[in-house]
Amino acid sequence: MKKFKGLILTLAIISGLSVCAMQESLLVNVANTTMQPSKQAVQYMAVNPLDIVARPNFYMNKNVKIKAKFDKFSTLGLDYKPAMRSSEKYISFLIQRPDVVDHNIPLSELKIFLNRTEAEKHIDLNSGDVIEFTGKVFSNALGDAWMDVDKFTVISTKPKNETK
């Protein structure tokens, strides 16, 4: 700190400024550079969706990444006031329970919301297609986890089953 003050005094004398003006100018510059928001990428923790369902309070306001089997688009949880996501702007979707392998059961305890514009790009998804999505758990209303998706990726698709 003594070297810093000595540098300020030397610079002030050389430039003809008062020491106070020089210190104020430097402090403003230091404050401006340290108060700049950092542009760090959001960090996501890869989680099993069953962990989120089991401990929604723990995951509140955390950024998570989930790889799962898509089940279907739905209206589940939309327009529910305590965790409001408008059905005009969002659609929800269900994923399959990862702990059941012999048949498909949706994990309805996890309310997942996707912007409708993004969902329309993936309207042809079939049950069982593998997806990965990231987002933030924003509510634990009704004891369930409610999550906003900010990135949605299709990993693999399977042929649609034609039943007649």
Termini Cα distance of the chain: 82
> DSSP assignment, residue 83?
G
Inform me whether the pLDDT recorded for 10 exceeds 70: no
> DSSP assignment, residue 36?
S
All residues at 6 or more sequence positions from 90 whose CB lies less than 8 Å from its CB, including other chains: 78, 113, 114, 115, 116
User: Distance between CA atoms of 56 and 62, rounded to whole angstroms?
Assistant: 10
Residue 158 confidence (pLDDT): 82
Is 8 in contact with 22 (CB distance < 8 Å)?
A: yes
Cα–Cα distance list, 24 to 4, 15, 16, 61, 128 (Å) = 13, 15, 15, 39, 63
- Tokens linked to 70: 């898509």
Q: How many residues does the chain have?
A: 164
Is 158 in contact with 126 (CB distance < 8 Å)?
A: yes
Residues 127-152 have pLDDT tens digits of: 999 999 999 999 999 999 999 999 99
Inform me whether the pLDDT recorded for 36 exceeds 90: no
User: Distance between CA atoms of 78 and 92, rounded to whole angstroms?
Assistant: 7
User: Distance between CA atoms of 136 and 147, rounded to whole angstroms?
Assistant: 5
User: Distance between CA atoms of 77 and 97, rounded to whole angstroms?
Assistant: 18
Residues 60-94 have pLDDT tens digits of: 999 999 999 999 999 999 999 999 999 999 999 99
Q: Which CATH architecture has domain 45-156?
A: Beta Barrel (2.40)
